[in-house]
Amino acid sequence: MIFVLKPGVSKPDLDLFIQKIEARGFKTFLSTGTDHTVVCLIGNTATIDLDAVVQTNNIVEYGKRVTEPYKAVNRTVHPEDTVVNAGGVLIGEGMFQVISGPCSVESEDQIIKVAKSVKASGATLLRGGAFKPRTSPYAFMGLQEDGLRLLLMAKRETGLPIVTEVMNQTQLPLFEDVDVIQVGARNMQNFDLLREVGRSNKPVLLKRGLANTLEELLMSAEYIMSEGNSQVILCERGIRTFETSTRNTLDLSAVPLLKQKTHLPVIVDPSHAAGLRGLVAPLARAAIAVGADGLMIETHNDPAKALCDGAQSLDLVQFNDLMDDLKLRIAFEGKLMGTA
């Protein structure tokens, strides 16, 4: 249940209202928009007489029941788009960003080369896996701490903010200088990890699980927001279906649906969705057309020799060509890239 307050409510009046609600056993959180403050109640609100609250508290403009299980991420609670500040680069509400880089950081030479090239092509954030979730325990697991060190070096060289995946909460202290913490598809419902990244003050890129519904994705984002972190970016990266000719099936309808249901920015990762280099460009164009706020695209200086996900990685020339095309489409949508 939410109560939308009249504009210009004083702090003592707001505190008194919250005290009265909490005295009845509800938890509350505030959502502050440009015009209105919204008080959201958590708990079994069936016993509350909505009209009585509105009539007896003259700071309340109106009340509304929120039927969905997700509250903080719900657009009903917070109608304006959330803009995430990813190391100075804004995502959401007309700001479109392209995150690019290799699946895994492999060497200093590789990450610096890729970082400089994708930046020159127009990417605004650098990605690179240091801790890699792999299906096989015998596969390359990433350079781990050394990978983070090399990513930070690439950030210093290029100025690009960095996005990298955390696999469990014990690794979080190592992410101090990382700009965006990625929670991968396989960890979308690792609730302890979600709570812990929710307690950090860093933007979180939350990828949709391989077989998770949009409601489950939103509930995972709710875990992060319920710990006080509202800087969450959702990522559609393909889901598992009966189709075997692509690695996953890109669920494009997820983008406009999520944007109706939540105020959080939504980006698309066509690389992991397709698993095939040749599909990355058309799916990236489709993502822009359906209203995505950004893209994550895997690139490599030598995809044939990549230690991970080479088949879906664009080489640096292919990425540059794609960006030339995407820049026009992003501008056509009336969106801006880079810093505002």
User: Which tokens hold the place of 49?
Assistant: 């007489």
Least distance between Mn ion and beta carbon 104 (Å) = 7
Which member of 63, 87, 122, 184 binds ligand PEP (CB under 6 A)?
A: 184
User: For the chain, what is the total number of helices (H) and then of strands (E)?
Assistant: 10, 15
Q: Give me the least distance between CB of 52 and Mn ion, in Å please.
A: 54
H or E, element range at 157:
helix 145-158
> Which pair of structure tokens corresponds to residue 132?
């890699």
Q: Does 155 bind ligand PEP (CB under 6 A)?
A: no
Minimum CB distance to Mn ion, residue 272 (Å): 6
- Decide if residue 103 touches Mn ion (CB under 5 A): yes
Q: Which is nearer to Mn ion, 37 or 248 (CB)?
A: 248
Residue 237 binding partner per list ligand PEP, Mn ion, none, with a CB distance cut-off of 5 to 8 Å that depends on partner kind: ligand PEP
Asked if 129 interacts with ligand PEP (CB under 6 A), we say yes
**Smallest distance, Mn ion to C-beta of residue 238, A:** 12
Between 122 and 238, CB nearer to ligand PEP: 238
Q: Which residue is nearest to Mn ion (CB)?
A: 103
Cα dihedral 116→322→291→70 (10° resolution)? -50
Kindly state whether residue 166 participates in binding Mn ion, applying the rule CB under 5 A.
no
Torsion sign over Cα 43, 199, 293, 89? positive
Q: What is the 3-state secondary structure (H, E, C) of 62-125?
A: EEECCCCCCCCCECCCCCCCCCEEECCEEEECCEEEEEEECCECCCHHHHHHHHHHHHHHCCCE
Provide, rounded to whole angstroms, the least separation between the CB of residue 279 and Mn ion: 15
Q: How far is it between the farthest Cα atoms of the chain?
A: 69
Strand-strand pairing, 266-268 and 232-236: parallel
Phi, psi angles (nearest 5°) of residue 93: 50, 55
Nearest residue relative to ligand PEP (C-beta)? 184
Q: Which two tokens stand for residue 257?
A: 């649906």
Among residues 103 and 150, whose Cβ is nearest to Mn ion? Answer: 103
User: Would you say 5 or 297 has its CB closer to ligand PEP?
Assistant: 297
Q: Does 300 bind ligand PEP (CB under 6 A)?
A: no
Footprint of ligand PEP (CB under 6 A):
103, 129, 133, 184-186, 207, 237, 272
Footprint of Mn ion (CB under 5 A):
103, 309
